């Protein structure tokens, strides 16, 4: 019996994930809150990581884990101030990107459902910006967050 066709293949493979993530990062590039969070000025490498992660998640090639190891996404987002505002901005750009790739509704629904749930799960602070960890590991208030500091 042949293998059931993966979601990755149903939506059109790597090309579709690239178009989705490229559209998403066009929004991020213009976002005054999200753009400064990215450690690299060039968003290209970050776009490549998100593309490969999503492709792998939906049953495509496992290149993401071959390059980056276990995703551990919550942990990898710890250095960034992901508050509800950042989440809503992330989702707004992703919504525009999902609209742009115009998948059939039966495919778009599970993709969007996953992205929305994942974005809610990524929130790691309810503090205003400037308080809590920053991307270089310092605390925004100057208060130590670990006694070993
Ligand atoms: C909720 C708001 C979110 C914000 C503000 C955010 C922000 C960021 C930032 C600043 C980075 C570092 C860029 C890099 O060097 O790769 C990053 C990495 C990444 N994000 Fe997010 N993210 C969010 C949600 C998500 C969600 C929902 C997913 C998955 C569905 C995701 C998947 C990834 C992946 C795969 C990486 C690269 C991890 C690595 O291999 O290092 N992010 N994100």
**Domain boundaries defined on the chain:** 9-122
> Which atom belonging to ligand 1 lies closest to the Cα atom of 67?
40
Please tell me the predicted confidence (pLDDT) of residue 2.
77
What pLDDT score does 25 carry?
A: 98
Q: Hey, what are 70's tokens?
A: 């276990």
Taking the alpha carbons of 35, 39, 19, 87 in that order, is the dihedral positive or negative? negative
CATH of domain 9-122: 1.10.490.10
Tell me which of 77, 83, 85, 124 to substitute to probe ligand 1's pocket, judged by most ligand atoms within 8 Å of the beta carbon: 77
Kindly give the confidence (pLDDT) of every residue in the chain, 149 residues in length, as a single tens digit, with 9 standing for 90 and above: 677 899 999 999 999 999 999 999 999 999 999 999 999 999 999 999 999 999 999 999 999 999 999 999 999 999 999 999 999 999 999 999 999 999 999 999 999 999 999 999 999 999 987 655 555 444 444 444 444 43
Q: What is the pLDDT of residues 83-100, one digit of tens each?
A: 999 999 999 999 999 999
SS (H, E, C) 38-93: CCCCCCHHHHHHHHHHHHHHCCCCCHHHHHHCCCCHHHHHCCCCCCHHHHHHHHHH
Three-state SS at 112: helix
CA distances from 111 to 35, 38, 50, 88, 94 (A): 24, 24, 14, 17, 11
pTM of the full structure: 0.89
């Amino acid at each position: 019996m042949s293998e059931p066709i993966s979601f990755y293949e149903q939506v059109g493979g790597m090309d579709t994930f690239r178009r989705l993530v490229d559209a998403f990062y066009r929004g991020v590039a213009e976002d005054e809150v999200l753009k400064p969070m990215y450690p690299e000025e060039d968003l290209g490498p970050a776009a490549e990581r998100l593309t490969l992660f999503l492709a792998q998640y939906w049953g495509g090639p496992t290149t993401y884990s071959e390059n980056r190891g276990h995703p551990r996404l919550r942990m990898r987002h710890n250095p960034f101030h992901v508050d509800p505002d950042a989440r809503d901005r992330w989702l707004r750009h992703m919504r525009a990107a999902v609209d742009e790739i115009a998948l059939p509704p039966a495919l778009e629904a599970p993709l969007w459902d996953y992205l929305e749930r994942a974005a809610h799960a990524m929130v790691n602070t309810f503090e205003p910006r400037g308080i809590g960890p920053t991307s270089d590991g310092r605390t925004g208030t100057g208060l130590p967050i670990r006694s070993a500091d």
